[in-house]
Structure 1
């Protein structure tokens, strides 16, 4: 809507076309909510979306692909795993790596402190005789089959 097609009260005022259209829609229809738009319809209902999120909260080790195999869309077709990830993401769930580390008890802490105190005075010559090993895992391709846990972001 250009300024020449605006009604006479809005012609001389510095009012944007969008603002004027919004105000007229409010007066005509008593709402400014978005109208239906074109585009591909969603393959899942809101109820199915809630069930997906609930399943991932109850079973945090459930993968997106396994969840997609269990869920049928509106037309009884299997949904894509990326759809499951998007639905989970919009509700605040993210697939994260689980914490993998030693669960230390008080006894473990005492033993580590004792070891550190006993070896604090060692010089470089004595430490050279110790073989340190690293437990890193290297994966040539992307399919390392690591487990992810669904958690709320933040």
Structure 2
């Protein structure tokens, strides 16, 4: 089986297979070589605890998560490290949605208002001043 067939079967680029084959010929192994850079501060258990705690407390800030990790696990990390770990887990910062819920009668009135004004021209709309542009959430 040629490298392109292997790459196609695994769903990777042919250059990946070529690089792995070359590394195997040179070193007899294909595992990752040591990389430069600072070693990771958190281990797998710290990351798992952080992920679980963040999922249970969805609106905890990075500072709160940092303090919790320090108190419970004894691991001191920066807020940026917390953010990076959360991003790695697919947990990004979110703000709670603050909207006014609409009742069924509100929805009926809005729909009736829209039907009454559907035929207005641009000139008629140009005289209107909207003062209540709050966000609403339709259930």
TM-score bucket (shorter structure): 0.5 to 0.7
Query: Aligned pair in 2 of structure 1 residues 126, 60: CA closer, same or farther (>3 Å)?
Result: closer
Q: Secondary structure at the match of 1:96?
A: coil
1:53 to 1:18, Cα distance in 2 relative to 1, 3 A: closer
Q: What is aligned with 1:43?
A: 41
CA RMSD of aligned residues (A): 3.4
How many angstroms does 1:108 deviate by? 2.0
Structure with the higher fraction of residues in helix conformation: 2
Based on CA coordinates, which of the two structures has the bigger radius of gyration? Answer: 1
Normalised by the size of structure 2, how large is the TM-score?
0.61
Map residues 5-154 of structure 1 onto 2, 5 A cutoff: 19-26=21-28, 31-72=29-70, 76=74, 78-120=76-118, 128=127, 131-133=129-131
Counterpart secondary structure, 1:93: coil
1:127: how far off? 7.2
**Is the 1:69–1:79 Cα contact (8 Å) retained in structure 2?**
no
Name the CA shift for 1:23/1:113 in 2 (closer, same or farther; >3 Å): same
Q: For structure 1, list consecutive stretches of 5 or more residues without a partner in the other structure.
A: 1-15, 137-154
Structure 2: 5+ residue stretches without partners: 1-17, 135-139
Contact 1:64 1:81 in 2 (8 A): yes
Q: How many residues align?
A: 115
- 2 CA distance for matches of 1:119 and 1:21? 71
SS in 1 for 2:92: strand
Choose between structure 1 and 2 for higher RCO, CA contacts under 8 A separated by at least 6 residues: 1
- Give the SS at the match of 2:80: helix
1:98 Cα deviation from its structure 2 partner: 3.5
Residue-by-residue CA offset, 1:92-142 (whole Å, 9 max, x unaligned): 2211344343433432211111222344566756973x5422668xxxxxx
Check whether the contact 1:64–1:85 (CA below 8 A) recurs between aligned residues: yes
